[in-house]
Amino acid sequence: MNTKTILEPAKSAITSGNCKDCRYWERHIDIRNKKFSTCGRVDWVDYADKIPEDGAAIYAYASDDSGMEVGLKTGPLFGCVKFQPKRLKAR
């Protein structure tokens, strides 16, 4: 990928919010007239690319013809409104 746009934390007083209220949230209609939305701020990076500790980017990886892996790559300090704390392991 030539362009690398990585989601970085907001530089304003607002530090958290929902996609529906974000200026980067883009609404689309597919060829079957189905509505869907995407984040225009997050771009694609190579699977091995480094991203900021508090950043996020989409990656795609295919090692052969058997399938493809796609996901959201995040730095450990990236914030998310879907956050749920990890469960502590029993000793």
φ/ψ region of 40 (left if φ > 0, alpha if ψ in -120 to 50, else beta) reads alpha
What does each of the 91 residues of the chain score in pLDDT, given as a tens digit? 445 555 555 554 455 677 878 888 888 898 999 988 878 777 788 888 888 888 888 888 777 776 777 877 777 777 777 677 777 777 6
Structure-token match 């998310």, residue found:
80
CA distances to 4, 6, 16, 31, 39 from 43, rounded to whole Å, are 6, 6, 20, 23, 9
The model's pTM: 0.52
Q: List the chain domain ranges.
A: 19-74
